[in-house]
Chains A and B, each alone.
Chain A
Amino acid sequence: MADVIMRVWRGDRSGGSFAEFRLAAQEGEVVLDVVHRIQATQAGDLACRWNCKAGKCGSCSAEINGKPRLMCMTRMDQLPEGPVTVAPMHGFPIIRDLVTDVKFNFEVAKQVPAFAPPPRPEGGHRMAQADIERGQEFRKCIECFLCQDVCHVIRDHEENKAHYAGPRFFVRFAELEMHPLDTNDRRELLRQREGLGMCNITKCCTEVCPEHIKITDNAIIPLKERVVDASYDPVAWLGRKILRRRRASPSEAATHGR
């Protein structure tokens, strides 16, 4: 087999550039294998984040030939011939080399009002499989943050991060909103604080999701519909007035927090 040529971005917050490495090719390797061989033989301090090397933990996100992907699930033999370019996620500040500072995501996670089930009945809650399957789709998320990386609302707009949760957290909100047992109402929070309206459904997030979650179709669009129903539907508004349905009010839910 021909040699592998890999161009890896190296640097830190102050700047950097691509460094080129040449290695013998090996059968069946993924991009992360090659990065590991570079570390072991040519550049011991090449920084990259990884854990499971099995597509389950979502640590080794990077941009491979310009496309956001997991390094551990990208086979070398399925990339076009020629040099392979590996760069850190563009959407987050650099720590070093391929490692970025993804703290933003852990901060947003704290804003999500927790799951709030009713008291457990004798013998446990009953839920039909059909009613939890949508939620299970969302809970496949491995928090690789590739959707956050690619989302154009924040990719080149750091300033939007203050009032935009991003696709990963719309998935999280959707999961809670569609949970058969949940009693919180997060719709007003989504509208005012989390910037749901800023998403203009270009589906970039869905395209890069390694878990193949239909983020836009199954999470974001239904959430948008729910928010619209809550905020702008006069019939629903009147219905709520008359029937006085007792759910936590949106502002309560928004401040109830965790």
Chain B
Amino acid sequence: MADYESHDYDVIVIGAGGAGLRAAIEAKGRGLRTALICKSLLGKAHTVMAEGGIAAAMGNVHPEDNWQVHFRDTMRGGKMLNNWRMAQLHAQEAPDRVQELEAWGALFDRTDDGRILQRDFGGHRYARLAHVGDRTGLEMIRTLQQRAVALDIDVFMECKILRLLSDADGVVSGAMGYWRASGEIVVFSAKAVVIATGGVGKSWKYTSNSWECTGDGHAMALWAGADLIDMECVQFHPTGMVWPLSVRGLLVTEGVRGDGGVLRNSEQRRFMFDYVAEMFRAETADSEDEADRWYKDHSAGRRPPELLPRDEVARAINTEVKADRGSPHGGVFLDIASRRSAEYIRRRLPSMYHQFMELAGVDITAEAMEVGPTCHYMMGGVRVDADTAAATVPGLFVCGEAAGGMHGSNRLGGNSLSDLLVFGHRAGGGASDYAEGRGGTPVPNRAEIEHSVAEAMAPFERDEGENPYELHQQLQDTMQTLVGIIRTGDELEQALERVEELTFRSSRVAVAGGRAYNPAWNLATDLPAMLTVSKCVTLGARDRKESRGGHTREDYPSADPEFGKVNLVQRQPSGGGVGEEVKIGSEPIPEMPPELATLFEENH
């Protein structure tokens, strides 16, 4: 048996975005031997791309804001499919987590009286997003990164984890992977493992997600025996760039609309007024005059329809484009140029200004942007206990985008960064408690290690075979065209067949060259997770025969109250792996206690 580089810790955290960093900070702060493992360099994770802000009911701009209002907004945004306890903890704890960032050096934009400024965003009743211009994610990741450095946390950079490892009793006891620089195998044993690997967007063709978002954690947790819930709930952000093609999907922050930007079709009409769902009618403006008054004074009018939750806006744009009222490159127009001064736009939205100027040659202070929906966020994920972030297999904790439940069927803008902080903190605490209570030394199963090594190395042993880039591209085409923003039963059945076929072909991938920093091989080792997640999304979408939040079925266009009471749960009962069987079924969502349920009655 080969002798691999090995490390032993109390807690290992896989993923170094906002959630992973926050979890590692918590575990290390409590004195546990902690490792942070990430497949890119530290500080490059997808969190860095978050733009608009961190939602937290601090009440700095609107003193009437509080956690109950934030909780209610979050649940309504998620079409009530959320895990109520996660949404409650999130709303209650987000303000403390933001203050903590400031104590670690973050420099948020300020109110006139010197407190943290908060901005408006879709679905939030009050201006609630703490922010730094339109680069809040960078501020957050840098602050957490610098805190992690200050605490002297051991960081394993450019280290790709392939599999979780269990001990003889099935308790998660570590993980194995390889160094990207050398391709050498590395094995970690740990008393508790935290997954914070982020999203899954790289399985779609047009996505705002970065290279890393391949669903590694979702897949590894499933393979290790954990439950996934509501994987069909994928958020398509309404405003991605549509041109040039090479940057199609790149995010255009919701802050543009929060700061006064409006959506228009080719007839120059503010079409969002035509798409206000019953659920939001009472609190949404019904004329342009009223909507414009709201920007100046929130008590002088109701909210503009451009600030409806993302699922509503994305579907509306999709409909306009299909009805031939789109922009020249197949999107719609997002116009802030005619509504705000150039100076204001450059100050509030510097990255957007820069991004359009450099990549599209468009000056957003002078002309409208062309935007359209882009695959953005996975609401579904590993089923966890709200208080501890524990998954359904012992020894495993999951936080951030890899965890399911918090956002229901649709996430509100700004609730992601706060989710990372609140549940990163809780997962770090949950894992620490577990590690402290776990006796003995964890011993990962040797056979699992050998099996995973053999699987990872197989592409080098084939002289001829499938090209991983080609398979990836075909998977992206499949998910984009058949499991996109609007879905139908027939197309989902086709998608399942294609994903099965691609899964089979992925077992015959061949890679040339050596193991040292070989991107073809790196991609080949990402494919099992991407294929697994794609299958779960498609299965969930097939079985949720209704439209709710980020999941829209053309053949079942309305929400079904019965489906509103259940999570779709997926697991692999007979052995975990990319080609193995996935079982799907529905289970009741946790019931909200009466004192919270009253928040949704008429007078609130």
Contacts and interface: CB of A to CB of B under 8 A. Distances in A.
Are A and B genuine complex partners? Answer: yes
Interface of A: 12, 26-30, 33, 39-41, 44-59, 73, 75, 95-97, 99, 101-102, 106, 109-110, 112, 114-115, 117, 120, 123-129, 132, 135-136, 139-143, 176, 179, 258
B520 A44 contact: yes
Contacts of A136: 107, 132-133
B531 to A, nearest CB: 18
B211 A28 contact: no
A28 B247 contact: yes
B149 A95 contact: no
A13 B102 CA distance: 42
Contacts of A55: 351, 354-355, 358-359
B519 A51 contact: no
Interface in B471-500: 473
Interface residues on B, range: 35 or more
A95 B247 CA distance: 28
A46 B517 CA distance: 9
Interface stretch (B42-50, B381-389, B417-425): B42-50
A102 B43 CA distance: 13
Contacts of B157: 106
Contact of A73 (B133, B152, B155, B359): B359
A120 B98 CA distance: 13
B245 A28 contact: yes
A75 B359 contact: yes
B375 to A, nearest CB: 15
Interface string B325-366: 000000000000000000000000001001100111000000
Contacts of A142: 48, 138
Interface in B122-153: 132-133, 135, 137-139, 142, 146-147, 149-152
Nearest to A132: B107
Interface of B: 40-46, 48-49, 99, 102-105, 107, 109-110, 113-116, 132-133, 135, 137-139, 142, 146-147, 149-152, 155, 157, 181, 210-212, 243-247, 250-251, 351, 354-355, 358-360, 467-470, 473, 511-514, 516-521
Contact of B41 (A45, A102, A120): A102
Contacts of B132: 136, 139
A56 B49 contact: yes
B105 A179 contact: yes
Contacts of B360: 28
Contacts of A28: 243-247, 359-360
Contacts of A115: 104-105, 146
A140 B135 contact: yes
Contacts of A112: 149
B211 A120 contact: no
Contacts of A33: 246
Contact of A95 (B109, B139, B210, B516): B516
A194 to B, nearest CB: 16
A187 to B, nearest CB: 18
Contacts of B355: 54-55
Nearest to A113: B150
Nearest to B139: A139
Rank and list the top 3 A-B pairs by shortest CB-CB distance, nearest first. A28-B244, A45-B513, A126-B114
B33 to A, nearest CB: 18
Contacts of B246: 26, 28-30, 33
Contacts of B107: 127, 132, 135-136, 139, 179
A28 B243 CA distance: 8
